[in-house]
């Protein structure tokens, strides 16, 4: 029998139930009904097999033309259409729930509480449109200038090297736990001024909250994520107070101390922390682990990279293209507009399949082949495009290139030694568990 505490947790409150029903429940019911009738867009959101391997479904969508549609929503895997939608000011994120009718949007706004806001709930930068977005992004972008990211290079090298030293002598380990997640968590913790002892808890909570990026969540998954979000907000509140009293050289201290006319409100500040955690952490873990699985399947390319270490940058872009860590995003028409001959009414949404656009044969010849020397690998849209283009793109590229080069230098014979286990998320694509083995490490 479930404990009273478990029952309480599952029951939630009428407000949280309303927030779930509007953000996920309604969508879930419509999607499931469509999927049962064979609707491909619905099946892509609910079928477990299509989470594991969405690529054949992307080709089915492609066969339907540049834009596929059911009565409720459109979808595209076409590189040109995805780019056009992401860059167009006729589309936006519309506050995260822009596809709901206005009265339901207002009800959702009431139902969702500040201490359970997720990384893609407004006022998160990812869920607001210009001009609000412009002011917000300008503030946060100060931490991600090319000069600042360049300066992080030495720190990233140092962290990678220390992690590999810890693995010295190990012949088998979980690459996600011991390496792929440790490097990004340290980088994000540096950006957010997080103390060493708080990092493991933050890592766990970040993982639990990441599922809120998925559409059509079940009530049970939503409740679990809501608890993690509540704990994260409580933690951020205390943390921001600490930083105000003892500021460091990090992004969050900078923003917390800002008293200029564009300064962020306390809720906006928490949302920056949460977004950087959700957008910057698990995505990079996934990029590194997706790369290791792909390289394991192509040992000749690892040998080529050993002789051509300058090729690691392009190899990272090819991994981003082939196994995009963020598979999709959503945009909503803000006014009547036309794309590829299809008219969008205001409020009509389109699922932008970044992972599908990155396999578009019109842009990438032989798109299913993995080739670290592909000449135009960097034309992928794995970091999105337009006003929401990933702020951390150069940092993620830097982290992944250093992490992978250092890993294969230290363990030239690294192989995947079991069946890796995927994460249960659809928007984010990567591994939860990735067993690897090595015969011996090469001393640094
Ligand atoms: C492999 C790693 C990464 C991938 C694939 C990735 C992907 C993305 C994508 C696809 C978006 C836009 C989503 C949309 O258009 O709806 C985005 C936005 C964002 N990313 Fe990343 N990201 C990565 C790493 C990072 C890192 C390391 C950071 C920061 C430390 C970061 C911070 C952000 C922020 C703040 C936004 C919001 C930008 C805005 O709304 O203007 N990301 N990312």
Interval 323-359: pLDDT, tens: 999 999 999 999 999 999 999 999 899 999 999 999 9
DSSP letter for 96, please.
G
Which among 390, 426, 430 is the best mutation to test ligand 1's pocket, defined by most ligand atoms within 8 Å of the CB? 390
Mean pLDDT of 318-325: 98
Which among 181, 354, 392 is the best mutation to test ligand 1's pocket, defined by most ligand atoms within 8 Å of the CB? 392
Closest ligand 1 atom to residue 381 Cα is 10
Distance 390 CA to ligand 1 centre (A): 4
Percent of the chain scored above 70 by pLDDT?
A: 94
Q: Of 161-170, 266-275, 323-332, which gets the smallest average pLDDT?
A: 266-275
Percent of the chain scored above 90 by pLDDT?
A: 53
pLDDT averaged over the chain?
A: 89
Place 223 in a pLDDT band, splitting at 50, 70 and 90: confident
Q: Are β-strands 91-92 and 73-76 bridged in parallel, bridged antiparallel, or unpaired?
A: unpaired
Name beta bridge partners: 435. 174
For residue 160, pLDDT over 50 is answered with yes
What pLDDT does 196 receive? 87
Distance 280 CA to ligand 1 centre (A): 6
Name the residue at shortest CA distance from atom 1 of ligand 1: 284
Question: In this structure, what are the phi and psi dihedrals at residue 368, rounded to the nearest 5 degrees?
Answer: -80, -15
Cis peptide before 131 (omega within 30 of 0): yes
SS3 at position 198 = helix
Q: What domains are there in the chain, each with its CATH number?
A: 4-437 (1.10.630.10)
What pLDDT does 117 receive? 85
Cis peptide before 27 (omega within 30 of 0): no
Place 365 in a pLDDT band, splitting at 50, 70 and 90: very high
What distance in Å separates the CA atoms of residue 117 and residue 96, rounded to the nearest whole number?
Answer: 11
| Gyration radius from the chain CA atoms | 22
Name the residue at shortest CA distance from atom 3 of ligand 1: 283
Closest ligand 1 atom to residue 400 Cα is 1
Q: Kindly tell me the sign of the dihedral angle through the C-alpha atoms of 140, 144, 145, 151.
A: positive
Question: In this structure, what are the phi and psi dihedrals at residue 350, rounded to the nearest 5 degrees?
Answer: -135, 125
Q: Are β-strands 73-76 and 349-353 bridged in parallel, bridged antiparallel, or unpaired?
A: parallel
Q: Of 66-75, 103-112, 189-198, which gets the smallest average pLDDT?
A: 103-112
For residue 439, pLDDT over 90 is answered with no
Q: Of 17-26, 54-63, 282-291, 424-433, which gets the smallest average pLDDT?
A: 17-26
What pLDDT does 124 receive? 87
Interval 21-73: pLDDT, tens: 777 777 777 777 878 888 899 888 888 888 889 999 999 999 999 999 988 88
What pLDDT does 444 receive? 46
Residues with CB under 6 A from ligand 1: 125-126, 137, 188, 191, 275-276, 279-280, 283-284, 287, 325-326, 329, 382-384, 388, 390-392, 395-396
What pLDDT does 436 receive? 97
Where do runs of H (alpha helix) occur along 182-281?
182-192, 199-209, 219-245, 251-257, 266-280
- Tally the residues of the chain: 444
Distance 284 CA to ligand 1 centre (A): 10
Smallest Cα–Cα separation from 432: which of 174, 172, 54, 211?
Answer: 174
What distance in Å separates the CA atoms of residue 281 and residue 287, rounded to the nearest whole number?
Answer: 10
For residue 174, pLDDT over 50 is answered with yes
């Amino acid at each position: 029998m479930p404990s009273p505490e478990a029952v309480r947790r599952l029951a939630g409150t009428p407000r949280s139930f309303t927030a779930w029903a509007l953000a996920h429940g309604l969508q879930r019911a419509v999607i499931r009904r469509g999927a049962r009738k064979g609707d491909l867009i619905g099946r892509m959101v609910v079928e477990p097999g299509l989470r594991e391997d969405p690529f054949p479904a992307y080709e089915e969508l492609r066969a339907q033309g540049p834009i596929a549609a059911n009565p409720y929503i459109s979808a595209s895997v076409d590189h040109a259409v995805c780019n056009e939608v992401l860059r167009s000011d006729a589309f936006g994120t519309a506050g995260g729930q822009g596809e709901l009718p206005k009265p339901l949007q207002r009800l959702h706004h009431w139902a969702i509480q500040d201490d359970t806001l997720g990384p893609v709930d407004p006022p998160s930068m990812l869920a607001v449109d210009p001009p609000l977005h412009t002011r917000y992004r300008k503030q946060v972008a100060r931490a991600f200038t090319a000069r600042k990211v360049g300066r992080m290079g030495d720190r990233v090298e140092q962290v990678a090297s220390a992690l590999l030293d810890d693995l010295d002598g190990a012949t088998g380990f979980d690459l996600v736990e011991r390496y792929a997640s440790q490097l990004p968590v340290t980088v994000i913790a540096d950006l957010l001024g997080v103390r060493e002892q708080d990092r493991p808890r933050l890592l766990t909570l970040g993982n639990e909250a990441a599922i809120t990026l998925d559409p059509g969540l079940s009530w049970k998954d939503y409740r679990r994520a809501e608890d993690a979000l509540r704990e994260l907000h409580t933690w951020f509140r205390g943390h921001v107070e600490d930083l105000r009293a003892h500021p460091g050289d990090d992004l969050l201290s900078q923003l917390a101390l800002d008293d200029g006319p564009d300064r962020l409100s306390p809720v906006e500040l928490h949302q920056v922390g949460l977004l950087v955690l959700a957008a910057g952490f698990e995505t990079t873990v996934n990029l590194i682990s997706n790369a290791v699985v792909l390289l394991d399947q192509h040992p000749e390319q690892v040998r080529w990279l050993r002789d051509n270490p300058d090729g690691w940058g392009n190899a990272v872009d090819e991994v981003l293209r082939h196994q995009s860590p963020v598979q999709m995003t959503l945009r909503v028409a803000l006014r009547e507009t036309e794309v590829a001959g299809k008219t969008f009414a205001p409020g009509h949404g389109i699922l932008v399949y970044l992972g599908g656009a990155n396999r578009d044969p019109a842009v990438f010849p032989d798109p299913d082949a993995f080739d670290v020397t592909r000449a135009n690998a960097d034309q992928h849209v794995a970091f999105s495009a337009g006003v929401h283009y990933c702020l951390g793109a150069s940092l993620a590229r830097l982290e992944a290139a250093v992490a992978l080069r250092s890993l294969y230098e230290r363990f030239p014979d690294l192989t995947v030694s079991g069946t890796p286990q995927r994460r249960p998320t659809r928007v984010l694509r990567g591994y939860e568990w990735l067993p690897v083995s090595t015969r011996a490490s090469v001393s640094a």
